[in-house]
Amino acid sequence: MPSDCLFCKIIAREIPAEIVYEDDGTLAFLDIHPINPGHTLIIPKRHSDSFAVTPPEDVAAVMRAAQTLSPAILKAVGADAFNFTANNGRAAGQLVFHTHFHFMPRFAADGYKMWHGPEGDHHLSDVAAKIRAALA
Catalytic pick among 39, 47, 98, 100:
100
CA distances from 69 to 28, 58, 76, 136 (A): 9, 16, 10, 37
Nearer CB in complex with ligand AMP: 97/107:
97
Instruction: With CA atoms as reference, report the closest residue to 21 among 86, 61, 69, 92.
Output: 69
Helix (H, G, I), strand (E, B) or coil at 23: coil
Q: Residue 17 binds what, of ligand AMP, Zn ion, none (CB under 5 to 8 Å, by partner type)?
A: ligand AMP
Per the CB < 8 A criterion, the answer to whether 4 and 21 are in contact is: no
Q: Residue 51 binds what, of ligand AMP, Zn ion, none (CB under 5 to 8 Å, by partner type)?
A: none
Measure the CA angle with vertex 53, ends 51 and 57; round to 5°.
80
Nearer CB in complex with ligand AMP: 41/62:
41
Q: Residue 63 binds what, of Zn ion, ligand AMP, none (CB under 5 to 8 Å, by partner type)?
A: none
Check residue 13 for interaction with ligand AMP (CB under 6 A): no
Check residue 36 for interaction with ligand AMP (CB under 6 A): no
How many residues sit close enough to ligand AMP to count as binding (CB under 6 A)? 12
Which residues are identified as catalytic?
Answer: 100
